[in-house]
């Protein structure tokens, strides 16, 4: 059963999912700490390149099925024009300012 984006527990994660689903690159980037990093399937990736390729140029979309760790970890069905739909896991590190300093994703 899908969790509505507005019902996600963590405000930063809620805003992250909303920005991805709205294809709002500006809002997405505003959520990230200046030195934010990310990893995909355990490998660190270039953040700007990855978000262009996996989210914004390919119409990425998240449907959250479950959350854990106070909302800082989610399992979601992720889809984009390149890969179709897959079950994914996401975890987030949020700094003291409420901005995402790191996120990690991969197949669930």
pLDDT (mean) for 48-72? 97
Tell me which fold the domain 5-107 belongs to: Nuclear Transport Factor 2; Chain: A, (3.10.450)
Cα 43 off chain centre by: 16
The pLDDT of residue 1: 81
The edge-to-edge listing of strands for the beta sheet with 61-68 is 43-45, 32-40, 100-107, 84-94, 73-80, 61-68
Q: What is the pLDDT of residues 17-49, one digit of tens each?
A: 999 999 999 999 999 999 999 999 999 999 999
> Is the whole model's pTM more than 0.75, yes or no?
yes
Q: How far is CA 57 from CA 24, 48, 97, 101, in A?
A: 11, 12, 29, 23
Which stretches within the chain are classed as H helix? 11-22, 25-31, 47-51
Kindly report the average pLDDT of the chain as a whole number: 97
What are the extents of the domains in the chain? 5-107
């Amino acid at each position: 059963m899908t969790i509505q984006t507005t019902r996600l527990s963590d405000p930063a994660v809620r805003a992250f999912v909303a920005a991805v689903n709205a294809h709002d690159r500006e809002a997405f980037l505003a959520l990230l700490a200046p030195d934010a990093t990310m990893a995909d399937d355990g490998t660190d990736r270039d953040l700007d390149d990855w978000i262009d390729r996996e989210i914004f140029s390919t119409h990425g979309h998240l449907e959250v099925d479950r959350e854990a760790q106070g909302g800082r970890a989610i399992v979601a069905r992720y889809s984009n024009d390149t890969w179709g739909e897959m079950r994914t896991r996401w975890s987030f590190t949020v700094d003291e300012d409420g901005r995402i300093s790191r996120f990690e994703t991969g197949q669930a």
